[in-house]
Structure 1
Amino acid sequence: MGWFSVQRLLPVLMLFVIAPAWADQCPAFLDHEQRKLHSKDSVNLCDIAAGKPMLVVNTASRCGYTGQFEGLEALHKEYQARGLVVVGFASDDFRQEAATEEKAAEVCFVNFGVTFTMIAPGPVTGPDANPVFREINRQSQQPGWNFTKYLLNARGEVTARFPSQVKPEDPQLVKAVESLL
């Protein structure tokens, strides 16, 4: 292979070197320490989700939609290896959260076997919303009730919003997830 051929291949080779760096960039709104549900531990979503699609859900442990934890966990298990990150944000914005974090954690982890990341209770609507939800609300529409689901692409852009009534196993939601993987 002569010099001329290498010169022609150089731009293509550079894409393979530079592209992974672009994928690892994380949007600023995800770059915050978030305390995990009923834990002293925290997580920075950039550490677990940079360059990956995310399904972000506002949750509550005493809601008619609480059973959706089961479907969210199934999505997490089904698509985690392909890059999907599921994150639940416990919230009492709609007065449906358990009285204590301990009880909320029991519902998530014991009753439904949740293994995806759950964030400690905090606001998801209005000016005091968690920084993640402030940006999601800016890009889309703030949650009108618990278990509103937002699908974000690897760049942190909201690509779909699913209201509470749409179950995690709904074919429309599953198709949207698969389109990002």
Structure 2
Amino acid sequence: MRVIAGSAKGTKLLSPAGKDTRPTTDRAKQKLFDTLRTLVEQPALALDLFSGSGALGIEALSRGAGRVVFIEKNRAAAEIIRKNLEKTHLSQKSEIFVNDAFLYLNKLCTLKYDLIFADPPYQSGYTQKLINIIISRELLHPNGLLVVEDTAEAKQKVTEGLTLIRTKVSGYTAHYIFEKSE
């Protein structure tokens, strides 16, 4: 697993040990960011929920995002994110919270984001819960994007306030890209 493009291009990233995380493959990440490049200007502020290795947020930083906030409740995984940020020299443009994503969104988050990545455990039922919180708390800027990683066969509900604008499938995995609608 490596950074695909930008200032940290080619840097190999560490991945948390065990089966609790599923690092996004380089191929899936390339497809996703090729699509995002056509949809959004450089995001000033991005959020990476269920961060794992931090690969998506780090890719965004490498490609010019102004700042990324990482949320990962597993301390060992959060330490991997910290090491990956040091390896890529992107620590100064980031913040890591070792916290539950839902607690962060419901209680601690006071910012609005241009781009939110969410990679909850597959088949956990978390996706719709995340979407509902993001909409009700108004955590996306107008025209902001929410990218949810899930299985390719998952059915994403259309929710008032968000429009599903793209689905990028790579093997068993899909990235569902939602845009905040007015």
TM-score range, shorter chain: 0.3 to 0.5
- State the TM-score, normalized to the length of structure 2: 0.33
TM value normalised by structure 1? 0.33
Structure 1 or 2: more strand by fraction: 2
Structure that is richer in helix per residue: 1
> Which structure ranks higher in relative contact order (CA pairs < 8 Å, sequence separation ≥ 6)?
1
